[in-house]
Amino acid sequence: METNAAPPTEAATPAPVPLEERIVDVIKTCYDPEIPVNIHELGLIYGIDVSETNAVTIRMTLTSPACPAAGSLPPEVERKVRGLADVTDVKVQVVWDPPWTPDLMSEAARLQLGLE
């Protein structure tokens, strides 16, 4: 008995998420304890560099040099990024130039904080 059923097709395999995108996603789970917005939306991340060997360097700042989270946020970022598959090394550099200002926040962060 013949059937006219089409042969089964392979389910489309989703494309892998690029490492840079996964890094940003995990950074978005880090929050300044005094501001209910993630540090990426706050504009505290100045740069993310990924080498050919998947070593990651993150340049970030804090809202002020006296920020109470200075001892906890950079290690949290490092730990979470280090936990991503394919990452071979992580360095977090805290920089102060340019100084952080609320102008660095994303529009979403400003809206969330009622600044728009």
pLDDT digit string, tens, across residues 65-94? 888 888 999 999 999 999 999 999 999 999
Q: Once rounded to an integer, what is the mean pLDDT over residues 19-36?
A: 93
What's the pLDDT at 38?
95
Query: Going by DSSP bridges, is the β-strand pair 45-50/55-60 parallel, antiparallel, or unpaired?
Result: antiparallel
CATH code (residue 64): 3.30.300.130
Share of the chain above pLDDT 70, in %: 89
pLDDT on residue 7: 57
Residue 5 has pLDDT above 80, yes or no: no
CA atoms 31, 61, 77, 69: torsion sign: negative
| Residue 34 domain boundaries | 19-99
pLDDT: which is higher, 116 or 62: 62
Sheet containing 89-94: which strands, arranged edge to edge?
Answer: 45-50, 55-60, 89-94
Residue 1 is predicted with a pLDDT of: 54
For residues 6 and 82, the model is more confident at 82
Q: Is the pLDDT of residue 47 over 90?
A: yes
Report the pLDDT value the prediction gives residue 11, as an integer from 0 to 100.
63
Confirm whether 106 is domain-assigned: no
Residue 44 lies in a domain: yes
The residue type at 52: E
The domain total for the chain is 1
Report if residue 29 sits inside a domain.
yes
pLDDT at 89: 97
In a domain, residue 13? The reply is no
Residue 51 domain flag: yes
Q: What pTM did the predictor assign?
A: 0.83
